[in-house]
Amino acid sequence: MQIYIETPRLILHDWKEEDISAFARMNADPHVMEFFLNPLTPEESLAFYHRIQNEFQTCGFGLYAVERKEDHAFIGYTGFHQITFDVDFAPGVEIGWRLAHEYWGHGYAPEAALACLEYARKYLDIQTIFSFTSLPNLRSERVMQKIGMERMKEFNHPLVPQGHALCRHVVYHIELK
């Protein structure tokens, strides 16, 4: 297992086989997936896991598994992902996070995200990082603000049906270099 990043409370590392079941449970949780079109089935989570692995192999970065140091629990993921849908800030790289519901409210998301940004500054050839979420997802937008990102604009997400409550998104960015 390669460890990419350590913080005082967290380890961000390559995914382990035993992370997959916790990952699937997290993606099936309606609380966690409140601002997505649907919770993921176990098959969809496994396909997502394989996309994460592929991105590490092709890009040299991806969504890192996040483990809590105190008990080695898988708590979610934080890291980087290629923006592949049709928007005016793509192609680009986003920073994203998803934590299991029981780990919300402890500052883990901003802690992991700040460490990822520092890692990107040192080791990745990325100039600008984006992050976006649906307008109702104020918790995620607050993480963007806490890690020093600046609000760019609102946009309609092209993969969300027009008129859907989650269609309108906000995008933030930060310059690394």
Cβ of 8: how many Cβ atoms within 10 Å? 7
pTM attached to this predicted model: 0.95
Intervals of the chain under pLDDT 70:
1
Give the residue from 79, 86, 83, 81 showing the smallest Cα distance to 157.
86
Residue 86 in tokens: 């049709």
CA–CA gap between residue 177 and residue 104 (Å, rounded): 31
CA–CA gap between residue 162 and residue 168 (Å, rounded): 9
Residue 161 in tokens: 């049906």
Question: What pLDDT is recorded for position 137?
Answer: 98
**Topology of domain 3-175, per CATH?**
Aminopeptidase (3.40.630)
Residue 142 in tokens: 């607050």
Assess contact for 130 and 173: CB atoms under 8 A.
Answer: yes
**Strand bridging mode 92-99 / 128-134:** parallel
Question: What pLDDT is recorded for position 1?
Answer: 67
